[in-house]
Chains A and B, each alone.
With several copies, the nearest count.
Chain A
């Protein structure tokens, strides 16, 4: 029991603080994107930065994602360490070439001679009726393509530590924050979006999963807001006598195979939960990884629960139907255990 008064921050403020501290520490860090200046980022990831660092380092851009993300790549090649924000990941289609053919590949093309130290931040996820072009997660799409790390924080502490790691990393890092974990005042209230965050800078390593809740009967592996859903599901399951372990993968690239295998060796059962589209995405990859790493320890085939292969629909009942929720996670886990 600690008597210290711990400082609580929302995930959004933790992200903004991480960026601010790194900008303070390293003059080469700058931020660019749409509405990241006066507005502070549509999701607040750059709140307060303009006032503090001025328009030379906090640069509002035209709606030219290919232009400014490519400019971030070029700036990274020439001595800066840019952070570029793609407002919603759903917009990747207008600028993917710079992301996957340039940002992610130049280091390789150069035989390791040149690095591209930059962070691409982007908001992901649905659940608030923003429809099919503003509600996707798409991390499976990025994790499939080589050369960029893929980071997905689920809570304030990790958000800060992962952001600092991302900025200090010499590789391109895609930092995907789920709108539902940010603790924004205008989104559905989420108590897990606020938590203790040390004031000083610290890092959370890229490539290490975290056990968000220990359990013995089944591993629920997931990322982002679905970590919260899984925690709620674990509560439901506990009431039903099932002890679920929740594994927050935190980064998809690198994927922490060891932590996954360790958990599965303990629980012997794996449910992979995803807010991305089901097919050709995260669920199959994580499940197959567990099979490859710990086949003999599995008592049942891994199960998966994800958005079915449909665009995210607008209307609330439709959208809620396609998203994973605590009840559907608990039901999947139960049927995985009880058949």
Chain B
């Protein structure tokens, strides 16, 4: 492992931050929703897609990013946004629907937009991919040495926008890296019922670009593959497609009974949970001590708690503000 220690530490600490964040949101999401669950009620209403288990995909990419790089993510965006360093206070406040949020409460958890770092997401499957191409086009045209990273689920790989985006990026040799988070399910539909082939990375050949499969839900494996793809993109060698086999530990959205996934499938995921295995490995390999791990965990907790406190104590927008910001 020729990975600089600070990258390993950063990945580990970011994983802690993501997981703790998702756990907190999961908890807070239930506030005001009992004894009767009502999706419209509580501190955080609406749909909530959490990414616990998918941290490695996000944190493995992060150490390779440079200022000005752009990311587009999906309906399940928190892990990616946190890894990229989107302002945690503003992001959390947005999820709480507060006026201090990234979108002043207008966007919500599926519509987090930030300019610095450049982050965007969408609730429409695969539709973040074309905008990533556009970011890449702008970088190329403006002579910026930046890359755009597009995250999407394996379910998205059967949507037309996937195909159009891959072809466009390959054709125009855009600095874009496409990262498919394959958690084997699109809501209840298993990949075997949606995708005619086993691995989306094999679809790269339809565009003449590199396609790489990462079979382990492991930050280091992602780090290595993403590093090479980002290097290529930054060097003007064009886009790449990466598929990472990852795990969605919880339901598709909060409140999902998750009855469509077998118990042993779910148990197997818990058994290999990277939030346990990755720090363990760093300790085993002597890169971190147990107490350093605990410190990282504590720091992560502290930042997330502060962000949640910021969100909680922020005011709601004024109702009439709904009418603002349709046009610039």
Complex: A in contact with B (CB within 8 Å): yes
A148: nearest chain-B partner, CB-CB: B327
**B102 on the A face (CB < 8 A):** yes
Q: For this complex, into which size category does the number of interface residues on chain B fall?
A: 35 or more
Residues in chain B near residue A78, CB distance under 8 A: 70, 118, 134-135, 138-139, 142
With A77-B135, A112-B325, A113-B115: A62-B164 Cβ-Cβ less than 8 Å:
yes
**A97 on the B face (CB < 8 A):** yes
Task: Determine whether the beta carbon of B155 is less than 8 Å from that of A70.
Answer: no
Residues in chain A near residue B248, CB distance under 8 A: none
Task: Determine whether the beta carbon of B171 is less than 8 Å from that of A112.
Answer: no
**A127 on the B face (CB < 8 A):** yes
Docked Cα-Cα span, A56 to B319, in Å, equals: 45
Residue from A73, A82, A111, A129 having most chain B Cβ neighbours under 10 A: A111
A-B contact count (CB 8 A): 296
Residues of A43-66 at the interface with B, using a CB-CB cut-off of 8 Å, are 56-57, 60-66
> How many whole Å from A19's CB to the nearest CB in chain B?
17
Docked Cα-Cα span, A187 to B40, in Å, equals: 7
Task: Determine whether the beta carbon of A67 is less than 8 Å from that of B164.
Answer: yes
B255: nearest chain-A partner, CB-CB: A186
Task: Determine whether the beta carbon of B46 is less than 8 Å from that of A318.
Answer: no
B110: nearest chain-A partner, CB-CB: A131
Stretch in contact with the other chain, from B11-19, B125-133, B237-245, B275-283:
B125-133
Stretch in contact with the other chain, from B1-9, B53-61, B78-86, B183-191:
B183-191
Task: Determine whether the beta carbon of B194 is less than 8 Å from that of A115.
Answer: no
With A64-B158, A75-B138, A113-B115: A101-B122 Cβ-Cβ less than 8 Å:
yes
Residues in chain B near residue A128, CB distance under 8 A: 39-40, 45-46
Binary contact track B9-46/A, C-beta < 8 Å → 1, others 0: 00000000000000000000000000011111100011
**A38 on the B face (CB < 8 A):** yes
- Which listed residue, B107, B122, B165, B324, touches A67 by the CB 8 Å rule? B165
With A35-B189, A74-B138, A78-B118: A63-B125 Cβ-Cβ less than 8 Å:
yes
**A321 on the B face (CB < 8 A):** yes
**A313 on the B face (CB < 8 A):** yes
B101: nearest chain-A partner, CB-CB: A111
Residues in chain A near residue B72, CB distance under 8 A: 74
**B117 on the A face (CB < 8 A):** no
**B167 on the A face (CB < 8 A):** yes
Task: Determine whether the beta carbon of B322 is less than 8 Å from that of A34.
Answer: no
**A110 on the B face (CB < 8 A):** yes
> How many whole Å from A56's CB to the nearest CB in chain B?
7
Task: Determine whether the beta carbon of A318 is less than 8 Å from that of B130.
Answer: no
With A70-B130, A187-B38, A314-B111: A64-B328 Cβ-Cβ less than 8 Å:
no
Task: Determine whether the beta carbon of B328 is less than 8 Å from that of A315.
Answer: no
**B97 on the A face (CB < 8 A):** yes
> How many whole Å from A89's CB to the nearest CB in chain B?
12
- Which listed residue, A35, A90, A114, A188, touches B113 by the CB 8 Å rule? A114
Docked Cα-Cα span, A162 to B105, in Å, equals: 34
A133: nearest chain-B partner, CB-CB: B123
Task: Determine whether the beta carbon of B37 is less than 8 Å from that of A185.
Answer: yes
**A238 on the B face (CB < 8 A):** no
**B106 on the A face (CB < 8 A):** yes
B127: nearest chain-A partner, CB-CB: A97
**A144 on the B face (CB < 8 A):** no
Residues in chain A near residue B193, CB distance under 8 A: 60, 62
**B76 on the A face (CB < 8 A):** no
A-B contact pairs, 5 of them (CB 8 A): A62-B167, A63-B194, A67-B158, A67-B161, A101-B124
The 9 closest A-B pairs by CB, nearest first: A74-B134, A70-B130, A314-B108, A111-B104, A315-B97, A67-B164, A315-B105, A74-B131, A129-B46
Q: Which residues of A contact B (CB under 8 A)?
A: 30, 34-35, 37-39, 42, 56-57, 60-80, 82, 90-91, 93-94, 97-98, 101-102, 105-115, 117, 127-134, 146-147, 149, 170-171, 185-189, 308-311, 313-322
Question: Could you list 18 further interchain pairs (A-B, Cβ under 8 angstroms) beyond the known A60-B189, A67-B165, A310-B322?
Answer: A37-B188, A62-B158, A62-B186, A62-B193, A68-B130, A69-B130, A71-B134, A93-B124, A106-B113, A108-B325, A109-B106, A112-B328, A132-B106, A132-B107, A132-B111, A187-B38, A314-B111, A318-B97
